[in-house]
Amino acid sequence: MERFGIVDIGSNTIVLLVYEIQDGKPVSIRHISEPAHLIDHVHDGIMDREGIEKAATVLRLYSRVMDEMEVRYRFADITEPCRIENQDELVAALEGNGIEIHPLSGYEEAYYDWCGMRLSWPDHEDGIAFDVGGGSTELICFHNDMCVEALSFPLGCVRLYHLPLDTPECRNALVKAQTDFPALKKTCREIIGIGGTMRAAGLVLHELYGSDLTVSVPQLKEMFDRVKNEDPAAVAAVKNNVKKSRQPLFLPGVHMILEIADIYEAETILISRTNIREGFLLHCLQKTPYNLY
């Protein structure tokens, strides 16, 4: 069976997923994640040589893994880390190893998030979706199974970690997004959460309350307060379900999720098991004989 490799180069981690197409859908058969913290290597809009070489080293490692797994089709997306002045230098350092490099704009990142989300929630044709990542947050408005608006703003878990936990920056960024893109200004009682921050919150909630893919916003707020106030059971749930490297970023990310839920007056959040990686894969498959569109 043909295999496809997707490398997702984000602000905090670089992830490799190897997929096979089963029953017309991409199924992950290998997942590797390396903490790279590339955002810490960007200063005044320029990524330093250490950060560039760190990313290149991880891609060389992943290329060897894909060689061993006989992965024929290989693609890499770069999200927030590519929005720098020396993007060409970064891309040049990553090229080779048989991996096709794709720097993504903020719109493309959010759009592919939506494409991936549709694999998890195909019957939801109208609504709001979001992804709180390491370096950015994506907002998507969709209607009649069409993406109406998709945007990204540079405020994610890593940047929020360096701000007070009750920072108004989250609310300010969301208000600006709704002002600049009126399609995003609406009430939505049920929104869809995409990405690792939302999945991590879901795992913690599952241990504490038994919730699954449907999250109660009041329960999410209660969990946030319990972790913030160092409730032993809540702290243990975070340690049990969130990777050690991501634990310091957990509360800042949940704070952003709660602000998104509040501004949309959401009562529940549906967790998407699929995200930008599957959405980007669907796009890349158009270049192969295995186009699923």
Domain ranges of the chain: 3-103, 117-271
Do the two domains 3-103 and 117-271 of this chain adopt the same fold? Answer: yes
Are 38 and 45 in contact by the 8 Å Cβ rule? The answer is no
The structural architecture, per CATH, of the domain 3-103 is: 2-Layer Sandwich (3.30)
CA distances from 156 to 57, 153, 261, 275 (A): 24, 8, 16, 16
Residue 142 is predicted with a pLDDT of: 98
Report whether 154 contacts 135 (CB < 8 A): yes
Determine the 3-state secondary structure of 214 from DSSP: strand
pLDDT of 208 over the 70 cut? yes
- What kind of fold does domain 117-271 have according to CATH? Nucleotidyltransferase; domain 5 (3.30.420)
Query: Residue 293 — very low, low, confident or very high, per pLDDT cuts 50/70/90?
Result: low
Instruction: Using pLDDT thresholds of 50, 70 and 90, give the confidence band for residue 144.
Output: very high
At 217, list the tokens: 């916003």
288 pLDDT tier (thresholds 50, 70, 90): confident
